[in-house]
Amino acid sequence: MSVSIFYAILVTSLATFLSRFLGAVSSQGIKETSKLFKWFNCLAYATLAALIARTIIFPVGVLIDASYLSRITVVILSLIVFFVSKQNYVYPTVFSALCMAAIANYF
């Protein structure tokens, strides 16, 4: 059992670091103002928006028990915290977890 876990960690680590290495090597020729860079940036934001929407609309696991109203409330409050904290990612992430836990336990 432990050997298979070691192989799984090794293979996933190699895949992760290989893709990062290839990204770093290939990024040398891409300018931040190029259309290709902007396209990848838009693609990343669209993927993130789709994942957030999927989590709100079709939750998995413990979030199934939470109502739509509570999930949407947490997202809106987290967005407010995001903009108030000058677009810091740590504060809204911690806030959303604490807020969802509070709403699920007390309301």
- Give the C-alpha separation, 50 to 45, whole Å: 9
Q: Is residue 27 part of a domain?
A: no
- Total number of domains constituting the chain: 1
Q: Is residue 77 part of a domain?
A: yes
Give the structural domain span for 88. Answer: 51-106
Give residue 1's pLDDT: 57
Give residue 19's pLDDT: 86
Q: Is residue 79 part of a domain?
A: yes
Give the model confidence (pLDDT) of 83-106 as tens digits. Answer: 999 988 899 999 999 999 898 888
DSSP sequence for 7-52: HHHHHHHHHHHHHHHHHHHHGGG--TTSHHHHHHHHHHHHHHHHHH
Give the model confidence (pLDDT) of 25-83 as tens digits. Answer: 887 777 888 888 889 889 999 998 899 889 888 988 888 888 889 999 999 999 999 99
pLDDT, greater one: 36 or 12? 12
Phi then psi for residue 9, to 5 deg, are -65, -40
Q: Is residue 67 part of a domain?
A: yes
Q: Is residue 14 part of a domain?
A: no
